[in-house]
């Protein structure tokens, strides 16, 4: 009887541990709702940035499709999802853009707005912002709270996704020939 009680107790304990354990081992990617949910948030985030006069001058020369695709891949990969981010590193991507501290904050506010729209819980929101926050040093080039600053003439945007694909296709055709 005593042994049976011990076995039952151990089973209960194991079940409890595995339930709480499972909840904890879920990646942030899974808790955010996977790639579909991340894509919805990124679309909303991008729309907010493009409509925000505090930062939208910075996006004037860039391919929105590339930016959104890269952001989804970056967030998916950084949160433990199955994506590989093959875009530029943050320093190169934002080089000569003249981003200020104030503009960085404005962009983060738009991300928070998008996460709130889709009711992402506080814990997941904090975790995602915590993963992106350390990138600030590679992105901000101008100290100060000014916003709405012009995009410097020397900024060179990355090629649009279509051009990248054509270049890759051409290269692989050439490689096959050789
Ligand atoms: C933590 C904050 C940020 C993250 C995680 C982030 C992430 C990214 C990523 C993944 C790309 C794509 C790189 C590629 O095309 O290979 C990108 C590009 C870009 N980002 Fe950011 N970014 C951040 C902050 C900002 C801020 C504050 C601004 C401006 C106010 C900005 C403006 C842009 C623009 C205009 C591009 C396109 C660059 C181009 O056309 O080459 N980003 N960013």
Rg of the Cα atoms in the chain: 22
CATH code that applies to domain 33-154 = 1.10.490.10
Best of 75, 78, 94 for a ligand 1 pocket test (most atoms within 8 Å of beta carbon): 94
Q: How far is it, in rounded angstroms, from Cα 155 to Cα 100?
A: 15
Percent of the chain clearing pLDDT 70 (strictly above): 82
Best of 46, 66, 67 for a ligand 1 pocket test (most atoms within 8 Å of beta carbon): 67
Q: Is the pLDDT of residue 26 over 90?
A: yes
Q: Is 66 in the pocket of ligand 1 (CB under 6 A)?
A: yes
- Residues 102-129, mean pLDDT to the nearest whole number: 98
What is the reported pTM?
A: 0.86
**With bands split at pLDDT 50, 70 and 90, how would you rate the model's confidence at 173?**
confident
CA 8 to ligand 1 centroid distance, Å: 55
Contact, 91 vs 134, CB < 8 A? no
**With bands split at pLDDT 50, 70 and 90, how would you rate the model's confidence at 164?**
low
| Burial (Cβ within 10 Å: 0-12, 13-18, ≥19) of residue 25 | exposed
Give the number of the atom of ligand 1 that is nearest the alpha carbon of residue 140.
Answer: 27
Q: Is the pLDDT of residue 9 over 70?
A: no
**With bands split at pLDDT 50, 70 and 90, how would you rate the model's confidence at 175?**
confident
């Amino acid at each position: 009887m005593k042994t049976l009680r011990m076995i039952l107790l151990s089973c209960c304990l194991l079940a409890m541990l595995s339930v709480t354990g499972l909840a904890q081992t879920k990646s942030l990617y899974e808790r955010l709702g996977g790639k579909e949910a991340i894509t919805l948030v990124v679309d909303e985030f991008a729309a907010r940035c493009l409509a925000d006069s505090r930062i939208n001058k910075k996006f004037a020369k860039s391919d929105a499709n590339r930016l959104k695709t890269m952001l989804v891949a970056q967030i998916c990969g950084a949160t433990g999802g199955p994506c590989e981010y093959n875009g530029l590193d943050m320093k190169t991507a934002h080089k000569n853009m003249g981003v200020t501290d104030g503009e960085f904050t404005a962009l983060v506010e738009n991300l928070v707005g998008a996460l709130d729209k889709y009711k992402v819980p506080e814990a997941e929101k904090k975790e995602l912002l915590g993963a992106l926050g350390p990138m600030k040093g590679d992105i901000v080039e101008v100290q100060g709270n000014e916003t709405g600053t012009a995009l410097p003439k020397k900024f060179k945007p990355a090629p649009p996704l279509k051009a990248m694909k054509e270049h890759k296709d051409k290269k692989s055709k050439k490689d096959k020939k050789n």
